[in-house]
Every structure is written in C-alpha cells, then in structure tokens.
Amino acid sequence: MGSAVTSDHSAKGGATALMPYDEVLRGYEPVLGLETHVELGTRSKMFCSCATTFGAEPNTQVCPVCLALPGALPVVNSAAVESAIRLGLALNCSIAEWCRFARKNYFYPDMPKNYQISQYDEPLCYDGYLDVTVDTPEGPREFRIGIERVHMEEDTGKTSHVGGADGRIHGAEYSTVDYNRAGIPLLEIVTKPIEDAGEWAPQVARAYVRELRDLIRALGISDVRMEEGSLRCDVNVSLKPRGSTEWGTRTETKNVNSLRSIERAVRHEIERQGGVLSAGGRVVQETRHFQESTGTTVAGRSKEEAQDYRYFPDPDLVPVAPDREWVEQLRATLPELPSAKRRRLKAEWNLTDKELQDLVNANAVDLVEQTVAAGAPPAEARKWWLNDLSRRATETGVELSELPITPAQVARVVELVAEGSLTNKLARQVVDGVLAGEGEPDEVVEARGLRVVSDDAALGAIVDQAIANNADAAEKVRNGKIAAVGALVGAVMRETKGQADAGRARQLILERLGVSG
C-alpha cells in the first residue's frame, strides 16, 4: 500500500488526525446508508417452534432445526412474515407478489448450518420511504429517507470469548456459543443512499433510527430494546467531494447500538474520513467497529476482498407469495403510525413545533397521550413527563417508559393537585413514593400523611400560635399592612411542613386579625 495513508489501524501509518467537522463539510458532502436489524417479538423462532424468551439459560431454547442437526428442515413462521409485511406497509413499501428465501453461505461457529437463511435478490418489501424530522436552529426540518428493502432472515447464535481482554476473540482462552438466539426472526431494513443530509447527517441518521424504532413499537412487532441487541444498526458513510457526482469509498460501522452512538459514529466517520482524505490518503472499504468508550471507530476486516456468500435460493423452502387480500387487510388494520399521531396531537393539544419536538426527543409522546387519556390536562401531563419524570429517568439510567410509574398514576397525581388535595411540592413526594414502590398515589398520600391540611379546626390552633409568635407582623396587618400576612402564612407552612392549604391559612389569619382580605 506504499506510503499512502490507509486507515488508522495501519501498522506503519498510525492514527490519522481527525479533520474538524465543519471543515470536512466545506469540502465534502456525506452520503449515508443504514442497515438496521430488528429482532421480531414473535413467540417462536423464524423456522422452528422454539421459544424466543430473552435471557433464558444458554442452549435451552433449541431443537434439531435451530441446532442444524442432520436431517432437520426449516418451516417459515407465518407470524414473522406478517410482521415483515406490516412494517413494509408502514414504510410505504411495495410488497412482493412472490419472493424466495436464499442461503447466505459462510462458516462461523455461531451459525449452526454454516449458512444463514436470508433473502437476496427477492426481498419481501421494497421501494418505500420514511419521513424524519431533525431539530435545527431554524426549526424542525424534515428529511425523506428512501427505503431500499425490508427482508426476512434468521439471527445467529451468540459467541462469548472467555479469558481475554474486554471479551474479544484475540487473547481469549476459549469461546462459548449460546444457540438460543440462533433462528430468532430478524428483519433487515436497508435505506437507499441518503445524499441530502449535508451537515445534519449525524442527526438525520439518529432521527431515522429513532423514527424506525417508534414505528416498530407502534406496530407492536418488536419491543426494540437496543441495549438487549434487539435493534442493531450498521452505518455506511462515505464522503463525496462537493460538486462531484461520484461517491467516495464507504466504510461500514457495525452494530452501533444506541441512538447517541449512531450520531457519534457518523460524526466520527465524517471527521476521520475527512482527515484521511486531506492527508492525501484513500479511504479503505472496510468494516469498522464503534467504540462506545472513546466515541471512535476502529478498523475490522477489510471488505476489499469481498467474501463470496454463494447465495442461492433455499431449496428447503417454498416461495412466499402473500395473498393480495391478506396484504390489503393488513394495510387496513395498521395502527395509527407515530407521524400521524404527532400531527394529530399537535393539533389537539395546540403545540408549537418546539413543544412537539421536545416530547418526541424525550420519548414521551405515548406516555403523555396515555396520561391525557387517563384524565389529565395535556399541559399538566407534558409538564410531569418532560420535567420531573425525565429527570428521574436520566438519573436512574432507564428509558422514560421503564420508570415504575404508569400514565394512570401520573394522571391521578395531577388530579389530586387540581382538587387541592396536594400542593406541587407534595405531589413530587407522592411521585417519589410511587417510584419507590410504595403503591398507588392515594396509598402514598395516606401512608406518608401528605394530604394538604385545610381543616379549620386543625389549622385554627396553628394560626393562633403563629399570630402569638409573630406579634410584630400581626400588628402590621391589623394596621392595614396586608402584605405582612406573608410572614404569618410562612410560619403556618413551616409548622405544618408545607402541608397546610396556604390559601385557607391566609383567610383564617386575616379573619382572626379582623381584617378582610
């Protein structure tokens, strides 16, 4: 490879300096492509009836078919085909009238048959699009992402390397394989090249995956837990010199497994490739791996000597030819999709673009909608989920939807505040109690004794005490300086640890001091 700078793993070359992002963008336009794998939430595997429960004891959800015992044969799981068609329809794709499964042949210990059943030149769904929105200083901007194809395939087993550093194969003493995952149905969603993202490329990539995730969740075909690997994203990036019609060489960064990482990986690849090109090097077509800890990508295997997968139609399976009536029935019964829901809620709740985008960014749209459905005013529901609860989710490192509080419980807290039973401050304590597993809001109020004290008998004595203890203030009020009542109310509140109904306390103080409020 001579003196040319090739890539940052080159033994002689060492790491090439990154080029500042803005500088790269002055000379180049990024071109993106995303390949996303989604594990479907079907009860059984793609080609056998084994269970798909996540986290089961290794090699307990296996059978002759998914272990590829001699003689075993695959049978297509029609629930997986249905899921694939529904996603295809939601992505505005055409649904093939007839398509086949193909074998992708390569040897790897976690692939029992040493071929993966996938689809090659006949995907089930093709030629669609997904609109995504990116926040810019000028306001939200929409991008239309072309969808090349959605196809069905099976997952491999999971290899663990034991005894080496950071779980990688190099230096490992031995490896184990768990075949529970082998044969779990996957959908692969491939975008067309995204050429118009420009400086927003990292955000567009992130927004696309988030939109896709929300769409898949809305369809109910997968719970899409990125941290469990049920959605995995490969990010292709290349740089096209401005004004050129020819694309640059692309890299494929594998298994980028969080929304934040997707954005970082794209940005890093743009900066890295810019650096390589500006140093007079060439970008190597290769697989790269994203390093969560450093936010950088490192070279994997080179793709220049392309592996020959020897695809051919799987003779063990018959073609999939979805009945047209069935497809139309699936189309007619699609749920409201996230984009449509957002448009509707924006109108119903009278939101600004920014307010809507805040909800989307916080993954709070469905939660707020459900809270409103449980009786809370939209503004109150938004306030709770975007402020207190988002903060709590961030603190505990879980997704908002994973907090141990339901929209109905939030709605009840809102109701208690509205009827005057709780102050906002008390309401937060109630929410704390619910999150701590102390039961329903009403149970927390009861157990912690958090209800506002507005009972005149109980308040009366405290008010008298406050007047006695604050004679100066009382005197000022009597003399017509009504503003001085604040000190007395404050004393009542202190005495009741904030549980007094401040309005009623003020009224009682004024009555007692013979002044009308």
DSSP 167: G
113 versus 272: smaller Cβ distance to other proteins: 113
Task: Candidates 20, 64, 241, 335: give the one binding other proteins (CB under 8 A).
Answer: 64
* Cβ pair 454, 428 in contact under 8 A: no
234 closest CA partner among 210, 277, 266 = 266
150 closest CA partner among 324, 252, 34, 43 = 34
76 binds other proteins (CB under 8 A): yes
181 binds other proteins (CB under 8 A): no
Dihedral sign for Cα 252, 256, 261, 263, please: positive
114 versus 396: smaller Cβ distance to other proteins: 114
105 binds other proteins (CB under 8 A): yes
Task: Candidates 107, 332, 397, 480: give the one binding other proteins (CB under 8 A).
Answer: 107
| Residues with Cβ within 8 Å of residue 211, at least 6 apart in sequence | 130, 131, 132, 338, 339
Rounded to whole angstroms, how far apart are CA atoms 433 and 435? 5
Which range binds other proteins by CB under 8 A, 7-15, 71-79, 243-251, 409-417?
71-79
122 binds other proteins (CB under 8 A): no
114 binds other proteins (CB under 8 A): yes
79 binds other proteins (CB under 8 A): no
Which x/- pattern over 248-287 shows residues binding other proteins (rule: CB under 8 A)? ----------------------------------------
Task: Candidates 175, 176, 249, 361: give the one binding other proteins (CB under 8 A).
Answer: 175
69 binds other proteins (CB under 8 A): yes
Task: Candidates 316, 355, 438, 511: give the one binding other proteins (CB under 8 A).
Answer: 316
64 versus 220: smaller Cβ distance to other proteins: 64
176 versus 258: smaller Cβ distance to other proteins: 176
Which x/- pattern over 295-314 shows residues binding other proteins (rule: CB under 8 A)? -----------x-x-xxx--
* Cβ pair 164, 173 in contact under 8 A: yes
Task: Candidates 113, 151, 210, 506: give the one binding other proteins (CB under 8 A).
Answer: 113
Own/partner pairs for 228-233, CB < 8 Å, 24+ apart?
228/54, 229/39, 229/257, 230/38, 230/39, 230/54, 231/36, 231/37, 231/38, 231/39, 231/257, 232/36, 232/37, 232/256, 232/257, 233/34, 233/35, 233/36, 233/37, 233/209, 233/257, 233/262
Rounded to whole angstroms, how far apart are CA atoms 237 and 375? 46
The CA distances from residue 513 to 335, 459, 461, 469, 506, in Å, are 63, 15, 14, 14, 11
Task: Candidates 37, 54, 58, 67: give the one binding other proteins (CB under 8 A).
Answer: 67
Q: Count of H helices and E strands in the chain? A: 17, 14
109 versus 335: smaller Cβ distance to other proteins: 109
Which range binds other proteins by CB under 8 A, 100-108, 129-137, 227-235, 443-451?
100-108
Question: Minimal distance in Å, beta carbon 293 to other proteins?
Answer: 27
Residue ranges binding other proteins (CB under 8 A): 64, 67-76, 103, 105, 107, 109, 112-115, 175, 177, 306, 308, 310-312, 315-318
